[in-house]
Structure 1
Amino acid sequence: MKRNYINLILTAAALLGLASCQNFLDVKPEDQLLEQTVFSNKQGVNLALNGLYTRMAGGSLYGENLTLSTVEVLGQRYNLNSLNGAFYPASQYAYAESSVTGRTGAIWNEAYATIMNINHFLKNLDVNPNLIDAKTDSIYRGEVIAMRAMLHFDVLRLFGPRYSTADSTQISIPYYDKVENVARPLLPANEVMKNIVTDLNTAEKLLKSDPVITAGVMSTTTSTDMMMNRNYRFNYFAVKALQARVNLYRGDKALALAAAKIVIQDASKFPWTTFANSNEKVNPDRIFSTEMILGAFTTQLYSAHNRLFLETLEDNTILAPTDKILKSVFEIDDSGAGVGARDYRLRLNWEQPSSTSTKPYRTFSKYADISKKTLGFRNTIPLLKISEMYYIAAECESDQNQALTYLNTVRTNRGLDALTSAPNLQNELLKEYKKEFYGEGQLFFYYKRTNTASIQSGVDGAPAIAMNASTYVVPLPLSESQYH
């Protein structure tokens, strides 16, 4: 993005400091005054909306914990041992350890602080009805209500019970859909899910006039128009994609398939990458940005990459899988041969050790910086992609030939051969989730949704890890338990 757009977003982050991360129910008088100042004109409304997106993309949420690090560690993505002090306890599901509670507590607190700010945003649109035109008002409301649904959904996926079992009726998390200064009760998981579905249905209706439907994402690096770069906003197709993800998680395959197919029908708006396009040597598009339905923009991405994945980091600091496990994921042999060796995701996102490196494994370069600073996909983490819609369609489609066609659509667009048959389609989908969503935080939630009994350890040679309620369900923060 251009520098002025970055400054606009950063300014909005400061303006939206309406709620403390430590106590999202505490609204001070000076915050109320600031709120009134922000919502005094259209520019203030735009700043407030950008502030919500900036907060969502912070390191506590989608800028790191829910994508690059914490949730990926829970999914056994990286080779961690007792010397890896920062993340090793999380890899062992030692949820009471301070290094884990600090990160999971930050997810909880920042998610609900952002939700509260969303509710303040909606309230201020109600009490200041003439600041923006009706069409813009509808789109803005749709965006933030969808954001509220996604934040609740990911808090539920992390802290809630295993939904695919009878555990779906267990008490889970609160749902906040309006401004309140009292703690909401903890709800059964299925009641939370009903609220999420309701919010997404509301957002879909509000976004019926979203320009993305007719004009596509309208990528630009030169405009601050709020209706441009729709794949960085909760646009209409992002809502449909999230409906697909949510309904699959709750076990309603018919609704999940219907939502996924709506996005697939307009898949030309999210065109597949090609290896030639993405393998541009100096400025590669490793995130496959054209396929992105929704992404998070964060100026802190490259500092996070350097802190977590940089090749020069010590073995006890870097987040990386062993060479053997990475080869297993991409289905290549010890020599580096095999059909998986052609996979764009391996060739683009995993750097071979440099000539000066002593590391015997590849390092993760998906979020490494590029030299051309004006490219639109810089500072971006994908949150929803067209590939996931094909995976969901494949899992939910009753016609197995059609299901295989959906799966093969992704495979062939990743440089792999189409499968002629798939006796165990679910296993093939698991393989794809492992390859596709590195650094995007989806594998752990796949395991939890399918209630996978044991998962491969990130430590080479270690036995598979038995999974159950105690490992899949992150305990509520102590700061929350005082309210209930």
Structure 2
Amino acid sequence: MKHIKQLFPAYIFGLLLLFSSCNKWLDVTPKTQVKEEAQFSGKQGFIDALFGIYQNSARQTGYGRNLTYGLLDILAQRYENKSIASTLYAKLSTYQYTDSEVQAVVDAVFTNSYGSIAQTNYVLKNVDNGILDETSRRIVKGESLGMRAFLHFDLIRLFSDIYASGANASTPSIAYLREFTVTSNARVSLGAALDLCEADLKAAEELLSVNQNIDLIPDNQGSTNADLFLQYRQNHLNYWAVKATLARLYQFKGDKVNALKYATEVINSQKFKFVNQSTLIVDPVQVTSDLTFSTEHIFSIYVSDIKLAADDVFKNTVAAGESTDLWSTRTSLNAVYQPTLANHASDIRSTTASKSLWNVVSENIIYTKKYWNENAANVKQRLIPVIKLAEMYYIAAESSATLEDGTRYLNVVRTNRLIPEIPVPASSAALDTEILLEYRKEFYAEGQLWFYYKLKNLATIPNGTATVTMSKAKYIFPLPNTELEFGSSN
């Protein structure tokens, strides 16, 4: 996208480096320490700082890899490649959190997220200084509050226990940073952390109501909108993404009434559309291909160097089957997409109906092409979905008051994926089983399956044709060493 691809002033990159670890704070040279008055003396300074939040979050230590197709899907047993016990992949897939290599990966997620949170607070510290017009102020402040909550919420989902409808509300969680500071911050309880997330999201919702438009990602980099700041709202924590995050938060808390309320508000907005199966192109060499179904993105991250990252693990031109690769087998993918069931081979996500979505090296090595950026002119090939429309239907299905309503929401997604509707199940547990199967189909290489496994506190999860026994120790990331002052574990 044009606004992401703009060359940021050098001081923005200096700030990102500064935020990457509080231990490095005092090591930053004066050249990168731009005075706040200069940084925020005009609208562009706010925009640059806001874009910096998204760019930092798009790094491989964040949503550009680890929090989507990388770490989280490895933990969810999406991929094979674990035969050599000494590899990082094998250690991650067996939850060896005390291993130094694994610790480095988990710590990097923690540091990246708090770095982005620090920048949200940097913007919020200055946003009410009278420089911005009222509409711009509301958008900048709303996005910053929304991202602060969004990032904290994912940290909660990673480093804290499940809420269990309030049973674990008093357990220690993470530090919730609301000020731009380098001082140590104490952890708060899980209940308190969720309350702070909710407050930030509700404030963001009110502020962002001033701009409820969604400028869907075009097939190329052109746009008629003269204000780059208002383009590509799917790549911002926009008004509807805030509502979607609230739906996630209430789902996490077990508040079905509010989860359904916010999920259906997003659904009923009609701002996001399921892909048109008759015109969908998933061949990555085509300029109009749409491998991640971008019209369904409520919030996505733009990753400018996604081709380098994807080629590293989802092989294209280099040798396949390397120890760092992320692949699946035909057997494991068939267990997910169930092509032998009647009329299921037509699933547009599967290896049978959408062969262009997959690189079949052999029956035992199959890579997703979802992030192959084979056409430089295709902006949509550089998007990683973070919140999608299908998830809102799944939350609505799970949260509905009746089995009939829940089944209806689930069947909307199934119909749009060209698989048959299911009859109304006999029980809520049976419906939950169907929803879980759909999570497995929908979010391959997107990270959401791990969060759902943990939310449901599943005792076992699938691992190809076998299962892995889970526990609290496997579901909860250990906090980094206490010398990391942001989010101190004190």
Same topology, TM > 0.5: yes
**1:86-235 to 2 correspondences below 5 Å:** 86-126=88-128, 128-130=129-131, 132-164=132-164, 166-212=167-213, 216-219=214-217, 221-223=221-223, 225-235=228-238
How far is 1:64 from its partner? 0.5
> Cα gap change, 1:16/1:349 in structure 2, threshold over 3 Å: closer, same or farther?
farther
Using the alignment, how far apart are the partners of 2:199 and 2:453 within structure 1? Answer: 25
Task: Give the SS at the match of 1:318.
Answer: coil
Q: Deviations over 1:77-106 (max 9, x none)?
A: 111324261211111010011221111100
Q: Please name the residue that 2:339 is paired with.
A: 332
Given that 1:71 and 1:444 are in contact with CA atoms closer than 8 Å, whether structure 2 keeps it comes out as yes
Using the alignment, how far apart are the partners of 1:118 and 1:18 within structure 2? Answer: 15
Give the alignment partner of residue 266 of structure 1, picking from 269, 273, 280: 269
Q: Please name the residue that 2:348 is paired with.
A: 344
> Cα gap change, 1:435/1:287 in structure 2, threshold over 3 Å: closer, same or farther?
same
Percent identity over paired residues:
32
Q: Please name the residue that 2:304 is paired with.
A: 299
Aligned length: 468
5+ long unaligned stretches in structure 1: none
Task: Give the SS at the match of 1:274.
Answer: coil
Given that 2:291 and 2:381 are in contact with CA atoms closer than 8 Å, whether structure 1 keeps it comes out as no
> Cα gap change, 1:11/1:261 in structure 2, threshold over 3 Å: closer, same or farther?
farther
Using the alignment, how far apart are the partners of 2:453 and 2:282 within structure 1? Answer: 34
Q: Please name the residue that 2:326 is paired with.
A: 319
Task: Give the SS at the match of 1:342.
Answer: coil
Give the alignment partner of residue 406 of structure 1, picking from 405, 409, 412: 409
5+ long unaligned stretches in structure 2: none
Q: Please name the residue that 1:369 is paired with.
A: 373
**1:441-480 to 2 correspondences below 5 Å:** 441-458=447-464, 460=465, 462=466, 464-479=467-482
Letter in 2 for 1:122: L
Q: Deviations over 1:161-182 (max 9, x none)?
A: 1222733321111000112232
Letter in 2 for 1:392: I
Given that 2:358 and 2:368 are in contact with CA atoms closer than 8 Å, whether structure 1 keeps it comes out as no
Aligned CA RMSD, in angstroms, stands at 2.3
Using the alignment, how far apart are the partners of 2:23 and 2:130 within structure 1? Answer: 26
Using the alignment, how far apart are the partners of 1:468 and 1:353 within structure 2? Answer: 34
Q: Deviations over 1:340-364 (max 9, x none)?
A: 321111144775556xx45534221
Residue 222 (structure 2) pairs with residue 246 (structure 1): no
Q: Deviations over 1:332-388 (max 9, x none)?
A: 23xxx743321111144775556xx455342211111132x3333131001111111
Letter in 2 for 1:448: K
Letter in 1 for 2:209: K
Using the alignment, how far apart are the partners of 1:375 and 1:12 within structure 2? Answer: 30
Q: Please name the residue that 1:7 is paired with.
A: 6
Using the alignment, how far apart are the partners of 1:387 and 1:190 within structure 2? Answer: 28
How far is 1:226 from its partner? 0.8
Letter in 2 for 1:287: T
Q: Please name the residue that 1:68 is paired with.
A: 69
Given that 1:286 and 1:349 are in contact with CA atoms closer than 8 Å, whether structure 2 keeps it comes out as no
Given that 2:54 and 2:301 are in contact with CA atoms closer than 8 Å, whether structure 1 keeps it comes out as yes
Given that 2:46 and 2:140 are in contact with CA atoms closer than 8 Å, whether structure 1 keeps it comes out as no
> Cα gap change, 1:258/1:25 in structure 2, threshold over 3 Å: closer, same or farther?
farther
What's the TM-score, normalizing by structure 2? 0.90
